Amino acid sequence: MGNKLFALAEREFKANRAAPVRQKFRGLKLNVGKYDEGWDRKRGAAVRMMAVVLRDDDQALYTRVSQSPGFAKTYTDAASWLQREADYLRLTASKLDVAASRLKAVLDRCEDSATLTAS
């Protein structure tokens, strides 16, 4: 009996089960205008800043930041900005997941409808 339970547990653990997709949903009230070129510019600037910081090792980054008190202040502000952007992008990523899930649900519905029509 033990081997059967282990096999069952292993099979269930390895199974690729997608989360159930809601078939019905309401639209969200979003201000689409806020995702304009300014939004792109701001998010892009944060990612470019991230690339500059990640490119350097600790010594190179220390040298860059400690060049002057003004640089240290600027990079302190940059650290706060990057953290705010990371938090914001996590929320945006969550919305992207919802959008993908909704599209998949509708596409599945279209596929089912096409299958029924073809029969």
Output the pLDDT for position 7.
Answer: 79
Assign residue 16 a region (left: φ > 0; alpha: ψ between -120 and 50; beta: otherwise).
Answer: beta
What mean pLDDT comes out for the span 58-78? 95
Angle at 24 between CA 95 and CA 89, to 5 degrees: 0
Task: State pLDDT tens for residues 86-115.
Answer: 999 999 999 999 999 999 989 988 887 777
Task: State pLDDT tens for residues 20-40.
Answer: 566 788 898 989 999 999 999
Task: State pLDDT tens for residues 41-58.
Answer: 999 999 999 999 999 999
- Judge whether residue 62 has pLDDT over 90: yes
CB 53 within 8 A of CB 61: yes
At which residue do the structure tokens 């990057």 appear? 82
CB 101 within 8 A of CB 111: no
